[in-house]
Amino acid sequence: MSNKFKRLTSIRDLKLMADVIREDIIISLREAKSGHSAGPLGMADILTALYFNILKHNPKKPNDKNRDRFILSNGHTCPVLYATMANAGYFKKSELLTLRKLGSRLQGHPHRAALPGIETTSGPLGCGLSQAAGMALVFKREKTKQKVFSIVSDGEQNEGNHWEAVLFAAKEKLSNIIAITDRNYIQIDGNTEDVMPLDSLKKKYLAFNWNVIEINGNNMQQLISTLKKARNNKDKPLMIIAKTLPGKGVSFMEGDYRWHGKPPNKDEAQAALNDLHKKECLERGDWYHLHQKLKPIHKKIKRSKK
C-alpha cells in the first residue's frame, strides 16, 4: 500500500510532531471553548507513533481497502485524533479551528459520516473494542493482513460491554487486534482507583487469555519498538497497557483529573503554549528561542489559518 504523506522514522522527529499536535490541541480547544484537555495531551505520543510510523494508511485515499483500521473508543479525546489527522494531511489544519462548532466536521465525538478517515462514530463508552472485534473477525475469515488498532480509556473499562468484547476476541483468537489502554488513572469524576478500582489490569487481561504488554505511553522509543513488534502478534488478541500522564507537557494540567473535561481559557491557553514551546525548544536544542516570549494566542491562531 502506497503512502503519500511523510512517514517519520526518527524518534526525535516523532517527539517533535507530538509537541506540534499538543499545541494544535490547545489552540483548537481554546477556539471551541469546550472539550477535553488532559486525555488528548497525554495520548499525543501514541497517536503520533501510530499515524506517522506504524499504521498502513493513506490520507489521500482514506477508504483504501488494504488500510489498517483505527478506532478511538474514548471518542471524547478526539481533539488529539483531529490534530493528528490534520498534520498527517487528511484535511487542512485551519479546519481545527472549527472544533465543536455548528456544522463542523469536527464534532465533540468522531462522526464517521462527516469526516473521511474516521472508521467508526464513537460516543457511548465501552463500545470501541466490540467494533474492533467485528472488523478483526471479518479480516481473519477473509484471510487478509489488515490490523485493527483500538485505543480504549481506563475509565471506560467500568463498562460491562467492554469485557464482553474482551471475552469474544479471546474466544475467536483475534490476534489481528492490537488494543491500547490509555492508562492515565483519571476520569471525569476523579481518579480511577477511587471511582472504580481497575488494577491489576495486566492480571485481568491475562486471565481473559490475552497477550499483554505494559509500557510508558509517553516514551516514543518504547512506543515504536512495542508497536512494531505488535504487528507480529500471534494466537491471541494483544492489549498494550500504556501508562500516560494526563495533561502531558502543560505543567498546571499534568496529573490533575479536573482537566479531564474542560478546555483552557485565554490566559491558560497562553500559559499552556508557553510550556509546550519551551519543551519543543529543549528537544530541538534551540537555545536561542527558549526564553523568548510567544506571540499572543490569537495571533498564533491567525497564523494557523494560512
With bands split at pLDDT 50, 70 and 90, how would you rate the model's confidence at 296? low
CA 261 to chain CA mean position, Å? 16
Residue 6 lies in a domain: no
Instruction: At 101, give phi and psi (nearest 5°).
Output: -90, 155
Each residue of 138-175: b (16+ CB within 10 Å) or e? ebbeeeeebbbbbbbbbbbbbbeebeebbebbbeeebb
Rg of the chain, C-alpha, whole Å: 18
pLDDT at residue 162 in the model = 97
Cis preceding linkage at 200, omega within 30: yes
Q: Would the pLDDT of 276 be above 60?
A: yes
Q: What is the mean pLDDT of residues 220-245?
A: 98
Going by C-beta distance under 8 Å and a sequence separation of 6 or more, which residues neighbour residue 22?
Answer: 41, 44, 248, 249, 250, 276
Digit-coded pLDDT (tens) for 82-107: 999 999 999 999 999 999 999 999 99
With bands split at pLDDT 50, 70 and 90, how would you rate the model's confidence at 292? low
With bands split at pLDDT 50, 70 and 90, how would you rate the model's confidence at 269? very high
Residue 94 lies in a domain: yes
Q: Would the pLDDT of 279 be above 90?
A: no
Q: Choose among 1, 26, 44, 77: nearest CA to 223.
A: 44
Q: Is the dihedral of CA 61, 63, 65, 71 positive or negative?
A: positive
Q: Would the pLDDT of 212 be above 70?
A: yes
Residue 259 lies in a domain: yes
Share of the chain above pLDDT 90, in %: 84
pLDDT at residue 123 in the model = 78
Residue 4 lies in a domain: no
Q: What is the mean pLDDT of residues 218-247?
A: 98
Q: Would the pLDDT of 301 be above 90?
A: no
> 290: part of which helix (H) or strand (E)?
helix 287-290
pLDDT at residue 3 in the model = 44
Residue 5 lies in a domain: no
Strands 238-243 and 211-216: parallel
CATH number at residue 294: 3.40.50.970
137 burial level (CB within 10 Å; 0-12, 13-18, 19+): middle
Q: Map grid coordinates 468522531 to a residue.
A: 110
Mean pLDDT of the chain: 91
Question: Which set of grid coordinates corresponds to residue 154?
Answer: 481506563
Digit-coded pLDDT (tens) for 1-55: 444 567 999 999 999 999 999 999 999 999 999 999 999 999 999 999 999 999 9
Residue 70 lies in a domain: yes
What total number of domains does the chain contain? 1
Put the strands of the sheet holding 69-72 in their side by side order: 69-72, 148-153, 177-183, 238-243, 211-216
Domain that holds residue 298: 11-304
pLDDT at residue 302 in the model = 47
Residue 250 lies in a domain: yes
Digit-coded pLDDT (tens) for 146-196: 999 999 999 999 999 999 999 999 999 999 999 999 999 999 899 999 999
Pairwise CA distance, residues 151 & 231, whole Å: 16
- Range with the lowest mean pLDDT among 102-116, 252-266, 268-282? 268-282
> 25: part of which helix (H) or strand (E)?
helix 11-32
pTM, two decimal places: 0.91
With bands split at pLDDT 50, 70 and 90, how would you rate the model's confidence at 211? very high
pLDDT at residue 2 in the model = 43
